[in-house]
Structure 1
Amino acid sequence: MTPTTLQQYRNRLLRGVPVTERRLDVSGISTAVLDGGDGPPVLLLHGPGESAVNWRWTIPDLVMTHRVIAPDLPAHGSSAASDPPLDADRAVHWLGALIEATCDEPPTVVGHVLGGAIAARFATRRPGGLRRLVLVDSLGLGRFRPRARFALGLLHFQARPRERSYERFMSQCAYDLDELRHDLAEDWPSFVAYNLGMATSDSASEAGRLFRTAGLPRIPDEELDRIDVPTTLIWGRDDRANRVRVAERASIRHGWPLHIIERAADDPARDRPEEFRTALRSALSE
């Protein structure tokens, strides 16, 4: 799939989302950024193999009260890969450079899965660098032990990224795939095509490496204890990859408030947009 075709699918999925898209040089990496709204800055970091498009359910509400910055992680979406490839340390450096380039005050960072792991690592190393931290079904807080059907679906999709394997994998990622397909309606074909295009792009292997180096390793509790800003957990009750018990343990250990979204899997912002927005508003005021 050509970059032009991918951008067309991206534009369709972002239709009506009140942001402008720009490109920044962030730590030497050409980074695509969605930007909109006015107020205290909130930076949204998406999950592995995805892009800022996945915040399409959240941005329209959030820009009413905040300035929203939603980048594509390096090697994801419309952002370029890096040379040399990113590891956890360089991902933290990239996030710091992005904050410097886009925010005139410490932002709240909302990180989903891989984005959450990168945000948490940043918070452990940069005291005072954030205003708040919101971790959504985040990696890094415990061992990654997905259910067998989730793991098999992921491996099959990675080996043969086709529409059939994507939908089989998504049946493990979404709480109810039929409901998601219905909600996206005429945008469903573009959603599938866009995600398949990213999975088969030249940068897909580096995106996978970032997942393995910055997302999968567990962050030691002693390092998480260094986080010095208000931190909130939001989790899908039916997350089959990163189970809710990981969040419950982290909440008890670190004293972080936990919002569990019922009838949601690993992406509550997509599965239950209204409930997620309510939990996020609460997190921003805690």
Structure 2
Amino acid sequence: MTDPDVATRSRDGRRAREQLLHAIPVTEQHVTAAGVPTAVLVGGDGPPLVLLHGPGEFALTWIRVIPDLVKTHRVIAPDLPGHGASGVGEGSLDVDRVLAWLGDLVEQTCPAPPHVAGHLLGGAIGARFSVAHGDALRGLVLVDTFGLRRLRPSPLFTLTLVNFLARPTEGSRDRFFRQCFIDMDALRGSLGPLWEPLMTYALAGAHSPDQKVALRSMMPPLGLRAIAEEELARIPVPTTLIWGRHDRQTPLSVAQRVSSRHGWPLHVIEGAGDDPAFEQPAAVVSALADACRP
């Protein structure tokens, strides 16, 4: 017999996803990439731009920037393996398979080499992919990315994250998100009717067995570990950093050091923590336009 709480969360999650999909100018497509059943949001025309979200998130967390980006780009925003409406497929989600997943996804969805913009874990995936397969990309944008040093969030951030992962409830979710955002109450107001479906879908994801498997598989090798400096130096494509000034996971000083060492332009987003595309979408759209300029 099905646990009624599980059935309710699943139903509420599906309803929330549908609400969010109807709010932005994209279509949802489904592909299989490296054996991973993958949900992909696609919209717009122009040079391709792939958006990779962070851990425990989903492609729809780019919801505040997609409406502007599709005016100038063909936007491809997948749910990472095990996240959102994507599955995990057969076999382990080790580094090689995750990079093969991105390569296969690019090949299937991009008519030309794309820019890849990755947030947190998505940035670490994009950076590692570009080291090995830079010829498949036109450029790389790292948004508060993991991988520039070993991940060491602030103690309070870590505590609220562990509590949310261990016991995902509305309360533990909100306590954790207050560590991610500078002003969650103002953000709730600016998002209006989109806030509740976003929060509902995030909570459904935290209960998802596939997402738990994906996080256990991908975070240690891709999110927690630093990319060696010599590997960063081998990234062959133009690379830009976009960083929230008040990031409590990877502080701005890390991005400043990497920017200085590798000559990568750095856009500092005021009034934002580790998710500037969510908190300050106009500033991030502007920074992305600069990074993706022909």
Pick the aligned partner of 2:268 from 243, 248, 260: 260
1:189 aligned onto 2:199 = no
Deviation at 1:84, TM superposition (A): 1.7
Deviation at 1:275, TM superposition (A): 1.1
Deviation at 1:184, TM superposition (A): 2.1
1:208 aligned onto 2:215 = yes
Pick the aligned partner of 1:8 from 5, 15, 27: 15
Aligned twin of 2:229: 221
Q: Unpaired segments of 5 or more residues in structure 2?
A: 1-5
Q: AA paired with 1:107?
A: P
1:148 aligned onto 2:138 = no
Q: Distance in 1 between matches of 2:196 and 2:64?
A: 17
% same residue: 51
Deviation at 1:189, TM superposition (A): 2.2
Contact 1:85–1:206 (CA under 8 A) maintained in structure 2: no
Q: Unpaired segments of 5 or more residues in structure 1?
A: none
* C-alpha RMSD of the superposition: 1.2
Contact 2:16–2:201 (CA under 8 A) maintained in structure 1: yes
**1:220-251 deviation digits (Å, cap 9, x = unpaired):** 01011111110000000000111111111110
**1:78-137 deviation digits (Å, cap 9, x = unpaired):** 000132221222111110010111112110000000000000000001131100100000
**1:57-82 deviation digits (Å, cap 9, x = unpaired):** 11110111110100000000000013
Pick the aligned partner of 1:101 from 105, 108, 116: 108
Contact 2:34–2:97 (CA under 8 A) maintained in structure 1: no
Contact 2:53–2:62 (CA under 8 A) maintained in structure 1: yes
Alignment partner of 1:126: what SS?
A: helix
Alignment partner of 2:219: what SS?
A: helix
Deviation at 1:14, TM superposition (A): 2.7
**1:135-165 deviation digits (Å, cap 9, x = unpaired):** 0000011121111110111011111100000
Aligned twin of 1:275: 283
Aligned twin of 1:86: 93
Q: AA paired with 1:132?
A: G
Q: Distance in 1 between matches of 2:129 and 2:210?
A: 24
Q: AA paired with 1:232?
A: T
1:71 aligned onto 2:72 = no
Q: AA paired with 1:61?
A: D
1:158 aligned onto 2:165 = yes
Deviation at 1:280, TM superposition (A): 1.1
Select between 249-258 and 185-194 the one with higher mean Cα deviation. 185-194
**1:19-38 deviation digits (Å, cap 9, x = unpaired):** 00011111111100000111
Compute the TM-score of the two structures, normalised by the length of structure 2. Answer: 0.94
